[in-house]
Structure 1
Amino acid sequence: MTSDSALPGHTPVPVPAPWQLLEDASTVLAVHAHPDDESLSTGALLTSLVAAGTRVVLVTATRGEEGEIVPGSIPAQETRPLEEIREAEIDAATSALGIAERHWLGTAPALAPGAAPRRYRDSGMRWVREGLAGPSDSAGADSFSLRPLEDAVDDLVALLAHVRPDAVIGYDDEGTYGHPDHVRAHHVAVGACARTGVPLVEIASGGSTDPHIQWREHPGTAEAVHRAVDSYRTQLTVRDTSAEGIAIRHVGGQDDLVALRTGLHVRP
């Protein structure tokens, strides 16, 4: 990969490999779609960066309003709407991971100058086939995946100017499992990084045999990731913790493993 390769008269400058970018960064910004994504997709990575002294900032696009709810996870006497409950969950999760600074996309400072605050709603999802998600049939015009892409890019650019990260962490173009909000978050991160020149480090969706994925283990992160994941009791149930990761069951009944290692996608 190179930078400035499209500028006439400029000699392409090598871009460091993604793990080197993160090792050298003093500040990183992680871009996620919903509360819980930061813990499920990048919990071990983010807590290891924090432990290494890196300033880790999180921005989340939606409040997860369309998520299903684990039966019995919300007391009968609870009066808060789901989005407020999920805000409390993400506060607990980020605290467990050691993240001290987080933002909502569309709320200052993650808001384009002069724009009125905007709220990106969870798009929901449906399973197209096993392991692949698609957009919900009921997603409205205010959903993250259907609102104008440039609005979200403008908002993320504003946050980049405020945070001034050395690298952005985001999804690759598959968006982990194809959730429309994850895919949109990828395109938003790509657009904002292209405009500002901040390098984008992509969390790989592919399997361990893909030669374009570089994997690293994150020893010593199991306790923090367990506590973070367990904060999302409306969305999942923690079943076990082992050296490989945190075994969970999603609200829809799917068993999954929150791995204590991360693959970063290296573009050929």
Structure 2
Amino acid sequence: MTRDPWQLLDDAGTVLAVHAHPDDESLSTGALIASLAAAGTRVVLVTATRGEEGEIVPGSVAADDPRSLEEIRQTEIDAATNALGVAERHMLGTAPALAPGAAPRRYRDSGMQWVRDGLAGPSDTAGPTSFTHRPLEDAVTDLVALLEHVRPDVVIGYDDDGSYGHPDHVHAHHVTLEACRRTGIPFVEVASGERPAGEESAGEETDGEKTGISWREHPGTGAAVHRAIDAYRTQLTVVGRDENGVAIRHVGGQDDLIALRTGLHPVR
């Protein structure tokens, strides 16, 4: 039976968002999270890795800054989640996002390399402690522990394309899918990519006939999303904002628009 993902979110008192790295919550679901939080929904975030493999925007860290990149990115995600209205956040592998009786686990950023324009693939340098190389069961049981602690009504996360194919995103999809299956909590998948060509928005919800993806605009979230994304000075540069979204330049020089709308797959 197919269920309307937007109705599930509208009815939810608590929503848990699952992401792979600091900044993913803002880039992939910033407008959605800000919209939910503004409507009074309790939004909880869990992040799998600390983004250790991320490149750094030249000049974004002072030469005499004694902090590690991990410490800097933790400061960035604190500022970003505050801007979006996230109620609490956790790291996967750290209690309460840790399986009962297990020693604390650190899932390292697996890194990535570009396969072609817009599509990422596995990195050649991912080690045995990386998120994608650790046993799937470790991450699943850690996420199940958090689900039982938070008791969300709905979980949101990546679809099986993982936004743009990043191996950590794809792995997070499989972890979330299995954890939700074990707990019986609905998993709402955020669609990768943009609205299909020719599909118009009515400002609320539309359904693409070819994709089955349901889209919703998030008016009034631009300022919050702008502040959240701008917190990640080591990873990107904000170059503008209009009614359609926030324009950014990634550390690699790619220009992107973080749209103030979200597409969701039907929940089965």
* TM-score between both structures, scaled by the size of structure 1: 0.93
Q: Does 1:109 align with 2:96?
A: yes
5+ residue gaps, structure 1: 3-14
Q: Which amino acid aligns with 1:173?
A: D
Q: Secondary structure at the match of 1:46?
A: helix
Deviation at 1:267, TM superposition (A): 5.9
Change (3 A) 1:163 1:267: closer
Residue of structure 2 in register with 1:86 after alignment: 73
Q: Secondary structure at the match of 1:240?
A: strand
Runs of at least 4 residues off by over 2 Å:
none
Corresponding pairs, count: 255
Residue of structure 2 in register with 1:219 after alignment: 219
Counterpart-to-counterpart distance in 2, 1:168 and 1:21: 10
Q: Does 1:183 align with 2:170?
A: yes
Q: Secondary structure at the match of 2:214?
A: strand
Deviation at 1:25, TM superposition (A): 0.4
The C-alpha deviation readout for 1:233-256, integer Å capped at 9, x for no partner, is 000000000000000000001100
Q: Does 1:128 align with 2:119?
A: no
Deviation at 1:16, TM superposition (A): 3.0
Counterpart-to-counterpart distance in 1, 2:8 and 2:143: 20
Contact 1:30 1:168 (C-alpha < 8 Å) held by counterparts:
yes
Contact 1:110 1:158 (C-alpha < 8 Å) held by counterparts:
yes
The C-alpha deviation readout for 1:153-198, integer Å capped at 9, x for no partner, is 0000000000000000010000000000000000010010000000
Aligned-residue CA RMSD (Å): 1.0
Residue of structure 2 in register with 1:10 after alignment: none
Q: Does 1:262 align with 2:252?
A: no
Q: Does 1:137 align with 2:124?
A: yes
- What percent identity do the matched residue pairs reach? 76
The C-alpha deviation readout for 1:6-45, integer Å capped at 9, x for no partner, is xxxxxxxxx5310000000000000000000000000000
Q: Secondary structure at the match of 1:119?
A: coil
Counterpart-to-counterpart distance in 2, 1:207 and 1:225: 17
Counterpart-to-counterpart distance in 2, 1:258 and 1:206: 11
Contact 2:188 2:267 (C-alpha < 8 Å) held by counterparts:
no
The C-alpha deviation readout for 1:101-152, integer Å capped at 9, x for no partner, is 0000000000000000000000000000001001110000100011100100
5+ residue gaps, structure 2: 197-209
Counterpart-to-counterpart distance in 1, 2:104 and 2:252: 33
Counterpart-to-counterpart distance in 2, 1:50 and 1:81: 31
* TM-score between both structures, scaled by the size of structure 2: 0.93
